Amino acid sequence: MARSNRSLFHSCGASALLLTALLNSASSFGQNQVVVHLTGQVLPCSPLITTVTVASISGVSPPVNITLPTDSVCTFSADITMDDPSGLFLVSTSCGGGFSAIDTVPYLGNFLDTVAVTVMLLCPGAEDCEGVPNGPALPGTPCDDNDPLTVNDTWDADCNCVGSVPGVCDAAFWPIQAYYIDSVTGDPVPLFHEVWLIDQSTSTSGTLAYAWDFGDGGTSTDAQPVHVYGGPGPYAICLSVADSSGCTNVFCDSVTVDGDGLLSGMVGGDGARNGFTVRVVDPLTVSIPQAAAPEDVRLWPVPAQDVQQLSFSSPTAGTARLELIAMDGRLLAQRHVALVRGVVRVAVPLDELPSGPFLIRLTTATWTLQQRSMKQ
């Protein structure tokens, strides 16, 4: 009976050892493996290539020899689990006519990693999208569709050169005197030696990229930068914007301050000795006093050679400064005009202006009117 007990003990011990070995084996399974995520494409895809073969090079564990289907544009993919952390795959396909495309794809990773590798199979003698045998003009690479209205031209999967039409964008800002609101009267009070640039840039294609040139060597790519000048000006400030569709636009204006540190448009003279600060602000975050503004604004003829007529309904009477400004911010001409309350017609002489676009700006103590125009 004791002998039987010993046999039972030895039998149980052997079973326990076997169970422990199996558990250890099971717990280590998958811990020394690498997953290779293989993707690729066969070019050209006409006629359609339907299958691709992937085989491991001799000595790599485990041996691999699989056939992958391709989709309608001859791309393929597979996740392959390997015991070895590095190795080589031989990827091949039949191109027809007795020709094949073959490439060797290495992989290298750590255990438990997923390694991504990509292969492009080019059938021998195959032409690229421009008809060049084994040329570089492949789907996804840049091309030129010869359309000046499109941007980001690229070869598609069918070797069509396709571009995108840029959206509409506009660079613009409005210089105003910085101010704060008096807590007692509720009136705006000027902040001396500071000018706000109200950003009015727009785009139909989403977020804009900004590039500011402050005219004194200072630049910024921030949307709302702050810049300090060392003198009164005038300084030509230029804003360039670009959006994701490829649209670009530039707007320039010139800013100076007078001896009291107040914004004075483009007129020079006795300026503030200590300079001033410009701060670009979002119109949604600034409560701008709503002063009376001209209405029924009309400008004709556009373009013109000698003179244009500017008509509008003025909310105030008095004197206004008429400025003709180049698109790079230079002052081309200026004079003062008399206003009456109601309908006003101003003759805008163009004899001193070069041909091209320009800006008409009419400024009073309470409002500013700006119109873009063109001289033939």
Provide the residue ranges of all domains of the chain, joining segments of one domain with +.
34-122, 136-165, 169-281, 295-375
> Domain 34-122 in CATH: superfamily?
Immunoglobulins (2.60.40.10)
pTM of the model: 0.41
Pair 314, 340: CB distance under 8 Å: yes
HSE at residue 85, side-chain half, CA atoms within 13 A, is 7
Sheet strands side by side (includes 356-363):
331-339, 318-326, 356-363, 368-375
CATH of domain 169-281: 2.60.40.10
> Domain 295-375 in CATH: superfamily?
Macroglobulin (MG2) domain (2.60.40.1930)
Task: Per-residue pLDDT tens, the chain, 376 aa: give them.
Answer: 444 444 433 444 444 444 344 334 434 444 578 899 999 998 877 777 889 999 988 778 889 999 999 998 889 999 999 888 888 999 999 886 667 888 888 988 887 788 899 998 887 656 778 878 767 888 888 999 888 877 788 888 778 898 877 778 889 998 888 887 767 766 677 788 888 898 889 888 778 999 999 999 999 999 999 999 988 888 999 999 998 877 889 999 888 888 777 886 433 334 444 577 888 887 766 555 555 688 889 999 988 889 999 999 998 888 888 989 887 778 888 899 999 888 999 999 998 899 888 889 888 877 788 888 889 8
- Alpha carbon distances (Å) from 370 to 69, 313, 363: 64, 14, 9
34-122 and 295-375 have identical folds? yes
Residue 38: Cβ within 10 Å count: 22
Helix (H, G, I), strand (E, B) or coil at 290: coil
Rounded Cα distance between 288 and 100, Å, is: 71
Phi, psi of 209 (to 5 degrees): -100, 135
Tokens 């690729």 found at: 40
